[in-house]
Amino acid sequence: MLRELAEAYANFEELKAEILAVSFDSLKQLKTYAKRIGIPFHLLSDEAGETTERFTYIDVERNVPVPSIFITNRFRLLRYQETAFEAHELLDAKEILSWLLLMQTECPVCSHL
C-alpha cells in the first residue's frame, strides 16, 4: 500500500494533499524502509501503540495496527474513515484521489483541499 501511495504521490501533491503513515516499527527501521522503497511522505513511528489505540485499533494476536485510512479536509474535518483486516482491502490510491477530488468540488471557493 505504501509503495502504491508513493507512486501516486505527485497526484496528491497537485491537490495540496498530504499523506502520513503510522507504523509500530522503530524510527530507524522506518528510515531504512523509506529510503529503500523511495517513500516521499512522512512515516511516523508509534512503537508504544498509544496513537494507534487512540485513533484506531491494534490486532492483539499479531501485535500490529489494524490498517486504516482517514481522509480529512483542509479544516481537519473527517470526511472518510476505513479500517480493514489487511491493507489491500482498503481504498487504493486512485480511490483516495477520487475522494479528494470530490471534496474539492464540494467547496468551490477553495482552490485546494
**For residue 8, what is the DSSP state?**
T
Residue 70 lies in a domain: yes
Inter-residue contact 78 to 72 (CB < 8 Å): yes
Domain that holds residue 33: 2-106
> Whose grid coordinates read 517513500?
39
Residue 111 lies in a domain: no
Sort strands 20-23 and 68-72 into parallel, antiparallel or unpaired: unpaired
Residue 113 lies in a domain: no
- Say how many domains are in the chain: 1
pTM above 0.85, yes or no: no
Q: Domain with 88 in it: what CATH number?
A: 3.40.30.10
Q: What is the pLDDT of residue 113?
A: 52
Q: Which of 80, 69, 68, 70 is nearest to 106 (CA)?
A: 80
The partner residues of 41 in beta bridges, in order of sequence, read none
Residues 6+ apart with CB under 8 A from 109: none
What are the pLDDT digits (tens) for 8-42? 999 999 998 999 999 889 999 999 999 999 999 99
